[in-house]
Amino acid sequence: MSALIFKRLFVQSTTQSLAGRFRFEPGLNLITGDDNSIGKSTLVRLPLWTLGCEFKFDERWKSLDARTILEFSVDGQQFLAARHRKEVMLKRGEEDWRSYYITEDTYEKEFANIVRFHALLPRREENWIHETPPPECYFSAFYVDQRRGWTEPWSSFDIFKYKDWRRPVINFHAGYHSAEYFEVGAEIAKWLQNIDEDETIIDKYGRAVEVLDLLAPEEELPATDAELDTAILDIQNSMIAVKRREQRALVLLRGKQEELEVTKVQLGIAEA
């Protein structure tokens, strides 16, 4: 597991003249305040929010429309992350900034690559698709919500996209399952889905053959080229006959439509 270390956090409101700057020292950091409304919980959440986690902030916080910059390191490599609303920007060392949206799987993959979070989870409705989960799954091992995290383990985030995500994430963090384990599991899920789809197609074809056997008349297929040419000619003549009947029906229909229009005019005159 990689060593993710927060260093500095900058917060600025875009709607009010408010801003803050915080430095995280090596080791444990204790956040204190005189009362419960000073924003200690918000300060704890902000580094995770900057990196893509979603929280239910109160209306006062939402009204600030804050943007943040987080300086952090992973295994000694320096990073900067900036967030405003749903957009996250990342800068690795001296490289250029890259922009993402937290709703895109490209950001989830990039974050997982940075912290080496290699767990893959099956989707709830499409369980044959295994994908990189959001940052919330990674931080579930380290963040405890003050209201429900102590009474419901691994429930500090609302994660509904996956049916059973806790066990595989715990196994990864504990070192019980490696990246290769999840990759092999994803491949197996794809192959099983392909088998199910093939079996479904085979079953459909099987039922179709049964219906044909019951309803289709038994006829001998043409055995020679001459017989085949004769059969093709019969089909073509039949199609021509059908086309002629269709044309006669259209002529008859047009005549009936004209009669109907005349009747409508006569009816209008009579009613006048």
> Within the chain, which residues score under 70 in pLDDT?
1, 149, 212, 215-223, 270-272
b or e along 200-231 (b: 16 or more beta carbons within 10 Å of the residue's beta carbon)?
eeeeeeeeeeeeeeeeeeeeeeeeeeeeeeee
What is the structure's pLDDT at 164? 87
Say how far residue 145 (Cα) sits from the centre of its chain: 26
CB 102 within 8 A of CB 53: no
What is the structure's pLDDT at 221? 63
CA 74 to CA 113: how far, in whole Å?
Answer: 11
What is the structure's pLDDT at 208? 77
Give the 3-state secondary structure of residue 214.
helix
Beta-bridge partner residues of 131: 121
What is the structure's pLDDT at 219? 61
pTM of the entire predicted model: 0.73
Q: pLDDT above 90 covers what percent of the chain? A: 54
Phi, psi of 4 (to 5 degrees): -95, 120
